[in-house]
Structure 1
Amino acid sequence: MEAANAKAEEKAKEEEKAKAKAEAIAKSRAQWTQKEFLFNYENLEMAGGRHETYLCYELMTSEGASGLKHLRNIPKGTIGIPDGKHVEVLLLEDLKDRKTITQVKCYLSWSPCKDCSQTLIQFSEENPEVDLIIYASRLYYANLNCKDEILVRETRAQLRNLAAVDKVCIKIMNKEDFEYCWKRLDFGPGKEFKAWEELDENHNYYKEELKKILAQVSVTSPVGGSDALNMPRRRQEQEVIELM
C-alpha cells in the first residue's frame, strides 16, 4: 500500500513538473505588452531591474522571409527547468529543425552573455551558410567599472570573438530598429511607437562602447594571458574589427 502511494505521489510530482515546464515554455513565447517592450528595450546606460532578456527574430529562408517572432528567457528556478534558458538557447531550439535558413536577424534587449556568445559561435561555425545579424539595445556587462572584473572581461572577449566569426554582424539598435520591431509585434491600431528621451544619445553611447569592445584584442586578463577566450577559427588574424 505504501509503495503504491509513493508511486502515485511520484507520478503526481512528475506530472506537476511537466505541466510547469510546458507553462514556462509557453510563457517564453507569449505575446508581450507595450509596457513590457518599452521597459525591456529602453536603451538606458544604467538599466536597473531589467533581469530578463527579450528577443525578436526573423528568418530568411529559400522560400522568403518569416514574420517577426518573439521570445523571453526562462528564469532560473523554474520547475522542470531549474537552470532556466536564455533566449539565445530558445532561439537555436526553434531553428534546429529548419533546413533552408539563409539569414537570422535578432533584436535583443541585452547583448549575449559569454556563454551565449560561445553557443552562437558554435552555431555559426556549424552553419556557415547562415548570416547571423544581431542588433542589441544594450550591452551586457559593458561597464569596465563593474566589481566582477573577470566576468566583464570574459563577456566582452566572447562578444568580440562572436563578432569575429564569418557571417556574423553585431550592431546597436537605433530608433528605426525599435520602431521596426514595435510595428511587427502588432500592438494594435493607433499604437504608434514613441521614442523615449535620450534614445539617440544612448544609442551613440552603446555604439561607441561596442566599437571599443570589438577593437580591443590583446588586453591582459586578470587571471593571466589574453582575454581573447576560445577565439573562433576564422578571422583570428584580424587585429581590428570594424563596426558595420
Structure 2
Amino acid sequence: MAEKETEENNKAAAIEKPAEGETDGEADGEKLELPELGPFETIIGQRMPSLFFKFQFKNVEYSSGRHKTFLCYSVEKQGTDCERSEGYVEDEHAGTHAENAFFTDIFTECDGSLSYSVIWYVSSSPCAVCAAKLAEYLGKCPNVQLTIFVARLYMWEEAEIQQGLRKLHGAGCRLRIMKAPEYNYCWNTYVDNEGEAFVPWEDLQESSTFYEEKLNEILHHA
C-alpha cells in the first residue's frame, strides 16, 4: 500500500521561533506570544459535515482527490483551573496547512506556568517541513504535550517524510494511527452526524493495522 495522492510539494510550515529577546515561555510563568503570520484561507468550526469526514478521513490505499488536511483538535489547559476547548480546522492550501493554522489561529499563546494537553485527529500525517517545525515548537514549549492520531500516513515511503516523523517523535509527540474507537469518537464529537451512528467501512481495521505497522517501522528503525 502506498499514498497515491498528489499534494503540493512545498507544504509550507509557519511555526517560528520567538524574535530575539522574546521569552520562550519556559520560565517564570512568562507567556509565549506566537507571531501573526496570516492572513490564510482556513476554515475553523465545531462540527464538520458528515460527508466531509467520511471522505477525508477514510484510511484508503489510494487517496486521490484528498488535497486538504482536516484537523480535529482538543486542548486541555491545566493550572489553577482546568479549561477545555475543541473544534476542527480545514486548510485550503493557500499559504499554510491545518497544522500551522492551529497555532496561528487557535492556540495563539502558551503560558509557561500552565500545562497543556493537545490532541489532534488528522486526515493525514504531517509533511517533512511541518513535522520539523512542530518538533521545534515542542522543544521550546515543554509544557505542551501533543498527541496526533492520523488516518493516513502521508507519502510514508519518502525518506524525508520518515525523518520528519522520527524527529517529531523524538521531540515527545505521541504519534498514533486512528482506529475504530478514534473514528467513533470523532464522529460523535466533531461531525454533524444528525444522530446517525458511525458505520465503519469494510477495510477500516485492516488499513489501520497496515498503517500502524508502517508507523512503528518508521519510528523505531532509523
Normalising to structure 1: TM-score of the pair? 0.69
Q: 1:36 aligns with which of 49, 52, 68?
A: 52
Distance (whole Å) between structure 1 residues aligned to residue 219 and residue 84 of structure 2? 30
Residue in 2 aligned with 1:202?
207
Equivalent position SS for 2:48: coil
Whose RCO is larger (CA < 8 A, sep 6+)?
A: 2
Q: 1:156 aligns with which of 143, 162, 168?
A: 162
Distance (whole Å) between structure 1 residues aligned to residue 183 and residue 83 of structure 2? 19
Contact kept? 2:76, 2:85, Cα under 8 Å: no
The one-letter code sitting in structure 2 at the alignment partner of 1:108 is: V
Cα 1:65/1:180, change in 2 over 3 Å: farther
The one-letter code sitting in structure 1 at the alignment partner of 2:176 is: K
Equivalent position SS for 2:166: helix
Distance (whole Å) between structure 1 residues aligned to residue 169 and residue 119 of structure 2? 14
Q: 1:107 aligns with which of 121, 130, 143?
A: 121
Q: CA-atom RMSD, angstroms?
A: 1.7
Distance (whole Å) between structure 2 residues aligned to residue 37 and residue 45 of structure 1? 17
Q: Which has the higher helix share?
A: 1
Distance (whole Å) between structure 2 residues aligned to residue 65 and residue 139 of structure 1? 31
Residue in 2 aligned with 1:95?
107
Q: CA offset at residue 186 of structure 1?
A: 4.6
Equivalent position SS for 1:71: strand
Corresponding position: 1:70 with 2:70? no
Spell out the pairing of 1:215-226 with structure 2 (5 A cutoff): 215-217=220-222
Q: CA offset at residue 122 of structure 1?
A: 1.2
Unaligned ranges ≥5, structure 1: 1-20, 77-83, 145-151, 218-244
Q: How many residues align?
A: 178
Q: CA offset at residue 198 of structure 1?
A: 0.3
The one-letter code sitting in structure 1 at the alignment partner of 2:44 is: R
Unaligned ranges ≥5, structure 2: 1-38
Distance (whole Å) between structure 2 residues aligned to residue 74 and residue 136 of structure 1? 19
Distance (whole Å) between structure 2 residues aligned to residue 71 and residue 192 of structure 1? 23
Distance (whole Å) between structure 2 residues aligned to residue 138 and residue 178 of structure 1? 12
